[in-house]
Structure 1
Amino acid sequence: MRYVINAERINILSEIQTKIGYKFRNIELLNWALTHSSYANEHKRFKITYNERLEFLGDSVLGLIVSDYIFTKYSNYPEGDLTKLRATVVCEPSLSYVAKQIDLGKYMLLGKGEEVTGGRERVSILADAFEALIGSIYIDGKFNNAKKFVLKYMTGIIENAVNGRELFIDYKTQLQELLQKKTKSKIEYKVVSEEGPDHNKVFFTEVVVKGNILGKGFGRSKKEAEQNAAKKALERMEVENEY
């Protein structure tokens, strides 16, 4: 791992640590979590490591923490309801919502191109950074600190979802539930093309059932593209009364 950290950057990172209530033993892990690929690509000579690997780890840690919490607290929920609840809680819009609550975009290292196009407010970037932050806390402070951090910010979202006050629409779950009533065929999401450089990609996705394309969508991340494809499929099915 390689980073560019100077005194000014350390002061900025100190601010976000105070805000989230966790002090890193290894400040480079925090900087790594907040480094976007666009910044690394614009500073290739430094061979800077960006946050996608931490995002991968954080996604798994987040899923485990939320699963453990809802499994224990809502012991009367069957597996299907737990799955739906978890999907609502850990969806991209909810993660970006939390990231905005702690002003995470303010502390990120972004490339100039991403900066001028609103990257600090982009849903996919913020959601990925929040997952990367979870991953960095997990490495730095182990599972219990990661759990404390996640539940500090996600418990309210879980309770809202349980009480029917869902802040976020999970189109993929809605589509799956609708189709399961009428077909046992597998639902597939396929990335059919990608456009743009690595740090500024747009993904084009199709949702397919029994070889039929139900909807198409695009987004700055695969998750966002899948949600948009599912949304289009639901809109089409409502109009045509399919399946």
Structure 2
Amino acid sequence: MANADIIHDFQKRLGYEFRSPALLQEALTHGSYLQDDPTVVAHNQRLEFLGDSVLQFILTDSLFRSYTTEREGVLSRRRAILSKGGFLTEMARDLRLDECLLLSKSEHDAGGRSRASILEDAFEALVGALYLDSDLATVQRLVLSWYGPLEKRLTHTEDAENPKGRLQELIQPVHGNTALRYEVTDTTGPKHAREYAVAVFLHDRQLGVGNGPSKKVAEEAAARVALTVLENERASAK
């Protein structure tokens, strides 16, 4: 097991003290560690398998209850954002899970403590261990407390990753599927280094202009500007 003080502080950050320390150790044990300590017989792969399913259910349930009018496709995409590898790696780092991992010396020396795939797997294993050590209601409360408000998490992530999709979702319920259009307003630079300017319109109203080395990038930049404009207008109207 990792240093007792480190584990104590880690459980304080989790907001939960394990009844079975062995479960926590298993969740924090990478497969490589068994090479250095043959007395350890379990690593976190099985718990990762369980935790992945538990996490999917928790996010599905929370999104279903929070977004009561959204369709299945939107809910599935949002769940994928919240459960993807990069997001879970960020969550693991927020909890400083990396400090507690049990790795072989060779894996540690190779930078395994900061490796995204290892952190993602350990986070899912931790969820699985919590489920076995407590119950679904407890692990649900804990996981959602780590995430914080899902709407806030999603707003930042969705806008960054798919601004055009996010803009379409805001506009469609009120104005329909074809209300938005993107127009190239300027093209500069030589053929091998084009720079595009694209404007996005809501009917005849220009919402934003973006620039980029391709039409796609420029459209995404314009959509981000439009989202900011609409968000400011909504805030002013309150």
Cα offset for 1:158?
4.8
Taking structure 2 as the reference length, what is the TM-score of the superposition?
0.64
Check if 1:91 corresponds to 2:84: yes
Q: 1:39 to 1:167 in 2, by over 3 A?
A: farther
Check if 1:40 corresponds to 2:31: no
- 1:108 is matched with 101
Match of 2:110 among 107, 117, 132: 117
Q: Deviations over 1:198-220 (max 9, x none)?
A: xxxxxxxxxxxxxxxxxxxxxxx
Matching residue's letter, 2:64: F
Q: 1:119 to 1:168 in 2, by over 3 A?
A: farther
Match of 1:15 among 9, 19, 31: 9
Cα offset for 1:48?
2.2
Taking the aligned partners of 2:151 and 2:92, their CA distance within structure 1 comes to 16
Taking structure 1 as the reference length, what is the TM-score of the superposition?
0.62
Cα offset for 1:166?
3.4
Check if 1:68 corresponds to 2:61: yes
Matching residue's letter, 2:99: K
1:32 and 1:49 in contact (8 A); partners too:
yes
- 2:23 is matched with 29
Cα offset for 1:137?
0.5
Taking the aligned partners of 1:26 and 1:165, their CA distance within structure 2 comes to 35
Q: 1:149 to 1:123 in 2, by over 3 A?
A: same
Q: 1:59 to 1:21 in 2, by over 3 A?
A: same
Q: 1:156 to 1:118 in 2, by over 3 A?
A: farther
1:33 and 1:133 in contact (8 A); partners too:
yes
Taking the aligned partners of 1:157 and 1:122, their CA distance within structure 2 comes to 25
1:141-180 to structure 2, matched below 5 A, reads 141-156=134-149, 158-161=151-154, 163=155, 165-166=157-158, 169=161
Taking the aligned partners of 1:106 and 1:29, their CA distance within structure 2 comes to 17
Matching residue's letter, 2:74: D
Q: 1:169 to 1:17 in 2, by over 3 A?
A: same
Taking the aligned partners of 2:144 and 2:22, their CA distance within structure 1 comes to 24
Cα offset for 1:13?
1.8
Give the number of aligned pairs: 163
Matching residue's letter, 1:35: T
Name structure 1 gaps, 5 residues minimum: 171-237, 239-243
2:51 and 2:129 in contact (8 A); partners too:
yes
Give the stretch that moved more between structures: 75-84 or 46-55.
46-55
Q: Deviations over 1:112-165 (max 9, x none)?
A: 11101111111111111011011111000111111011101123455332x254
Structure with higher Rg: it is 2
Taking the aligned partners of 1:149 and 1:11, their CA distance within structure 2 comes to 21
List structure 1 segments (4+ residues) > 3 angstroms apart after TM superposition.
8-11, 155-158, 164-170
1:13 and 1:31 in contact (8 A); partners too:
no
Cα offset for 1:68?
0.0
Name structure 2 gaps, 5 residues minimum: 163-215, 217-238
Check if 1:130 corresponds to 2:123: yes
Taking the aligned partners of 1:141 and 1:168, their CA distance within structure 2 comes to 36
Cα offset for 1:12?
2.8
1:62 and 1:134 in contact (8 A); partners too:
yes
